[in-house]
Amino acid sequence: MRRAIFPGSFDPLTNGHLDIIRRSSPLFDEIIIAVLNNPEKHPLFSVEERCELIRRILPEAKINDCTLVVDSFSGLTADFARQRGAAAIIRGIRAIGDYEYELRMALMNRRLQPEIETVFLTAAEEYSFVSSTLMKQVFDLGGRVDGLVPDFIIEKMREKIAANR
Ligand code: PNS
């Protein structure tokens, strides 16, 4: 059984994340989409809401026999990966600007858990500028994010932002 985790904030999941899940699914038997519980960062969606949104969207990402699981975690990604018996940590690289941060994390995670490899996948070009932070900012200011964030999640962002105003 080749198991990997795909950790992140996912606040919210974007089509860039879905693209990375699709690309990595032929490589593993099971991928755990691991949502970081980070209340101190004041996310738009609670960790429970983020997990639920991802569960609703995941059927769009399943393209083969890989089992996709959604779970949340607190603490170190490397510890969560070990506890769940994962062989790999998946991270997407959008552009060269991501590389330095991702390299530092990969090296630190390797130091913490030498048996677990970080696997980098390159994002589709059309999503190379997409981040959850940018999507939230643009949407909050009235810009369109269609095609970059799943429609169902855009609807939930609309509801959440209206409720917060
Ligand atoms: O979606 P993000 O915000 O780019 O994901 C970053 C994440 C969650 C992978 C990273 O912040 C992380 O691993 N946080 C958990 C705490 C941890 O393990 N920190 C040390 C990383 S070397």
4-13 pLDDT per residue, tens: 999 999 999 9
pLDDT value of position 41: 84
Is pLDDT above 80 for 62? no
CA distance 21 to 15: 10
Residue 132 annotated as catalytic: yes
**Environment class of 111 (CB within 10 Å of its CB; exposed 0-12, middle 13-18, buried 19+):** exposed
pTM above 0.85, yes or no: yes
109: Cβ below 6 Å to ligand 1?
Answer: yes
Q: Are 4 and 32 in contact (CB under 8 A)?
A: yes
Choose which residue among 10, 21, 54, 105 to substitute to test ligand 1 binding: the one with the highest number of ligand atoms within 8 A of its C-beta. Answer: 105
Q: Can you tell me the distance from the alpha carbon of 149 to that of 109, in angstroms, rounded to the nearest whole number?
A: 29
Catalytic annotation present for 9: no
Q: Is the dihedral of CA 83, 53, 91, 132 positive or negative?
A: negative
**Pocket mutation for ligand 1, best pick of 5, 20, 36, 99 (most atoms within 8 Å of C-beta):** 36
Residue 55: the pLDDT is 96
Count other Cβ atoms within 10 Å, centred on residue 137. 12
Contact yes or no for 125/133 (Cβ under 8 A): no
For the chain, how are helix, strand and coil distributed in percent, rounded to 5?
A: 50, 20, 30
Cβ proximity of 5 and 31 under 8 Å: yes
Radius of gyration of the chain from its Cα atoms, rounded to whole angstroms: 15
Average pLDDT of span 76-86: 98
DSSP secondary structure of 11-27: TT--HHHHHHHHHHGGG
